[in-house]
Chains A and B, each alone.
Chain A
Amino acid sequence: MSGEVQAAAVLGGLTESEELEDRRGPQRPRRRRIGLGDWLLPVYVVLAFIFLLIPIAYTFVFSFNDSLKSNIAWRGFTFDKWLNVCNVEGGAVCEAFGNSIVIGLVSTVVATTLGTMIAIALVRYRFRARSAISLLLFLPMATPEVVLGAGLAAQFLAVGVPKDMLTIILAHTMFCISFVVVTVKARVASLDPALEEAGRDLYGSPREVFWRITFPLLTPGIMAAALLSFALSFDDFIITNFNSGSVTTFPKYIYISASRGIPAEANVIASAVFLVALAIVVIAQVSRAARAKRLAAQMG
């Protein structure tokens, strides 16, 4: 599974690792002898995680900075920036943030729909030009963003389409489709065909079988794909930069402001988004663990 897909699974709290249990070797009693490797690795891991989280902590801390226009030096603690997020530069940060949300939602809906349809077709049907289609789905993921961005921009330029929200949405949908296909495809492939056959056997018409059996069973995969799409779109800067014209998204706002200094309000928004995302994922993971535990308890 690819990094993004794995990320999607974690985002959705859906990593199904229980089923792998017996493939990975029997449970061993812990070794009593404590060697160098036993503490070296955990210590390294702790330090590595601290390192990974430094910029996040930095961003979070500086969202409370009583800064003026730029947010570089520490000037004292304040809640003001959290309470009045939109009161800076005439609400430019909030407008950019709003644009990012709208673009993220629309591209997610379109990409998830198109990608899910392709994923089902790839697993379930035979058709010609299969390898060509696989290549077409694979290439956008193997192409550097700057090439994707420049290509679309060149295209819009050639056709004479003005760059605005629509061009951003078109661009984001394009690079999200392949990721949706990969995520959902894994789910479709792991779906037991006997379940749908049982639905047909139990008098379900093709439409009923799809909506009552197939679709609900694919939902976790589709949800994970949608979350991934939204995350990819929301955080995208490079492709957006080539195709946005005068429209500003949240990452683009940061890029533009970087030379003159980022207001603390941007840190507030980023920190809030971070906390919301983290809460969603942690809740999903914890409830999944609790569910697994409950299941195990009931099975005795």
Chain B
Amino acid sequence: MAFAAFATTEAQPQTTRRKSPIALFLLLPGILYLVLFFLTPLISLILTSLQAPSEFGDIGVYDYAFNWQNYVTVIQDYWPHILRSFGYALLATVFALLFSYPIAYFIGVKARRRPLLQSLLLVLVIAPFFISFLLRTLAWKQILSDESLIITSLKALSLLAPDAYFAGTPFAVVFGLTYNFIPFMTLPLYTTLERLDTRYLEAGSDLYANSFTVFRKVTIPLSMPGIVAGTLLTFIPAAGDYVNASRDFLGGPDTQMMGNVIEANFLVLLNYPAAAALSIILMAAILVLVGVYVKRSGTEDLL
């Protein structure tokens, strides 16, 4: 998600820009592709979300209609999932931010004079990307399972109540979401912190601010673009995720998120209109939240 990247070049005028038929030739194939495989599917999704069950009552067969009742039904049926999705995603975003900021600060500011160390730490940040997302999540499932070495030894040492468990809890789901999206948070934070001019920090302490005040009043505001980009990059995929919350992974019956019900309705129950309506709700909610968030944080130019 290119919240920042889309802005960087838009700001500086390019002197070489000119009108030419070549532009059309360059743009047309890709744009056509996106219209065909992104835009029309979205429209398809809206149309599907308004479909009514077939007159003949076959399962998985629907007729085009304007059955907006579908939206009412899914909200009535799935409001806990909707709330859960955004709640879990919000928590995961906050935890990922708290976890990542010091790392990004260390790599971007403290390790600045050692380029090799900096590069290798960055490699370590994205290392989890190199191993399957699903296997990472499964590994946590096994590490957090009741029989695992860590849990049993924690219990043996009485550091954990004997009846405590993690598997299938909201904690495990939020934990998994946080873990999986940490690189998405760390990298944009790193990018802005890496460009932070340390002379501003020196100016801050020169002007009688202690290191905490410098951090709060100088470092944080200057890294705002990274914070906004990182939180969006974490929040959006986390809200739509259904692997972590799935019963076979870190979730349980009471942790199902919107993604899970969309998947179930679409692929198992073949209730396409319900899945489509939920998808539209998810997307609309995210767009509204992102819009409000970006406006409030004063970083519109990032979009």
Question: Which residues of chain A have a CB within 8 Å of any CB of chain B?
Answer: 1-7, 10-11, 13, 15, 17-18, 20, 23-28, 37, 41-42, 44-45, 48-49, 52-56, 58-59, 62, 72-73, 114-115, 117-118, 120-127, 133-134, 136-148, 150-155, 157-158, 170-171, 173-174, 177-179, 181-183, 185-186, 189, 193, 196, 231, 235, 237-238, 241-242, 250-251, 254-255, 258-259, 262, 266-267, 270-271, 273-274, 277-278, 281-282, 285-286, 288-289, 292
Interface digits, B1-30 against A, CB 8 Å rule (1 contact, 0 not)? 111111011101011111110111011011
Report whether A10 and B2 are in contact in the complex, using a CB–CB cutoff of 8 Å.
no
Please state if A52 and B128 are interface contacts (CB–CB under 8 Å). yes
Residues of B contacting A72 in the complex (Cβ-Cβ under 8 angstroms): 142, 145
Q: A7-B126, A238-B243, A258-B248 are in contact. Are A142 and B5 (CB under 8 A)?
A: no
> Contact: A2 with B282, CB < 8 Å?
no
Q: A25-B199, A189-B12, A254-B138 are in contact. Are A285 and B2 (CB under 8 A)?
A: no
Question: In the complex, A40 Cα to B82 Cα: how many Å?
Answer: 39
Partner of A2, one of B5, B26, B194, B287: B5
Taking CB atoms, residues of chain B closer than 8 Å to A250 are 132
Choose from B27, B140, B145, B243 the contact partner of A127 (Cβ within 8 Å). B27
User: Please, which residue of chain B has its CB at the minimum distance from the CB of A267?
Assistant: B135
Complex alpha-carbon distance, A55 and B144, angstroms: 11
Q: Is the Cβ of A238 less than 8 Å from the Cβ of B128? A: no
- Cα–Cα, bound, A181→B38 (Å): 15
**Contacts A142-B286, A178-B2 given; 4 further ones with Cβ under 8 A?**
A1-B2, A42-B110, A142-B236, A271-B131
* Cβ–Cβ contact B115 & A17, under 8 A: yes
Task: Tell me the complex Cα distance, A26–B8, Å.
Answer: 25
Residues of A within 8 A of B17 (CB): 123-126
A237 touches B133 (CB 8 A): yes
B45 interface contact, C-beta 8 A: yes
- Contact residues of A: prevailing secondary structure: helix
A1 to B266, CA, bound (A): 35
Q: Is B187 an interface residue (CB 8 A)?
A: yes
Pick the interface stretch among B69-77, B101-109, B156-164, B166-174: B101-109
State A137–B34 Cα separation when bound (angstroms).
8
Q: A292 to chain B: which residues have CB within 8 Å?
A: 115
**B197: which of A23, A137, A157, A174 is its contact (CB, 8 Å)?**
A23
Question: Do B119 and A174 touch (CB < 8 A)?
Answer: no
Q: How far is the CA of A7 from the CA of B185 in the complex (A)?
A: 11
**Once bound together, how far apart are the Cα atoms of A145 and B198, in whole Å?**
38
- How far, in whole Å, are A56 and B180 apart by their CA atoms in the complex? 12
Contacts of A282 in B (CB 8 A): 120, 123
5 A-B pairs with C-beta separation under 8 A: A44-B102, A55-B140, A125-B26, A143-B286, A273-B132
A2 lies within 8 A of B1 (CB): yes
Would A6 and B196 be within 8 Å (CB), given that A56-B128, A142-B1, A267-B135 are in contact? no
Q: Which residues of B contact A241 (CB under 8 A)?
A: 263, 267
- Contacting A237 at CB < 8 Å: which of B9, B18, B134, B233? B134
The answer to whether B31 touches A56, judged by C-beta atoms less than 8 angstroms apart, is: no
B65 on the A face (CB < 8 A) = no
Chain B residue numbers with a CB within 8 Å of A127 are: 19, 23-24, 27
Decide if A278 touches B272 in the complex (CB within 8 Å).
no
Whole-angstrom distance from the CB of A269 to the nearest CB of chain B? 9
A-side contacts of B118, CB under 8 Å: 17
CA gap between A55 and B176 in the complex, in Å: 11
In angstroms, how far is the closest chain A Cβ from the Cβ of B78? Answer: 13
B217 interface hit (Cβ, 8 Å): no
A117 touches B27 (CB 8 A): yes
A259–B113 alpha-carbon span in the complex (Å): 48
Please determine whether B263 and A258 come into contact, CB atoms closer than 8 angstroms.
no
Q: Which 6 A-B pairs have the closest CB atoms?
A: A144-B240, A151-B41, A125-B23, A55-B139, A114-B30, A121-B26
Are B119 and A288 in contact (CB-based, < 8 A)? Answer: yes
**Bound CA–CA A1/B130 (angstroms):** 20
Known interface pairs A6-B191, A115-B30, A147-B240. Does A285 touch B120 (Cβ–Cβ under 8 Å)? yes
Contacts of B37 in A (CB 8 A): 152, 155, 170-171, 173-174
Bound Cα distance from A133 to B272, whole angstroms:
30
Partner of B132, one of A3, A173, A270: A270
Asked whether A147 lies within 8 Å of B187 as measured between CB atoms, the reply is: no
B262–A150 touching, CB < 8 Å: yes
B29 in complex: contacting residue of A114, A124, A171, A278, CB < 8 Å:
A114
- Output the least CB separation between B59 and chain A (Å): 14
> Are the CB atoms of A238 and B44 closer together than 8 Å?
no
Which partner residue on chain A sits nearest B229 by CB separation? A2
The answer to whether B131 touches A273, judged by C-beta atoms less than 8 angstroms apart, is: yes
Least CB distance, A262 to chain B, in whole angstroms: 6
**Given known contacts A125-B23, A145-B240, A251 and B134 CB-to-CB distance under 8 angstroms:** yes
CB-contact partner of A15 in B119, B134, B290, under 8 A:
B119
With the chains together, A123 CA to B147 CA distance in Å? 56
Interface hub of B6, B47, B140 (most chain A Cβ within 10 A): B6
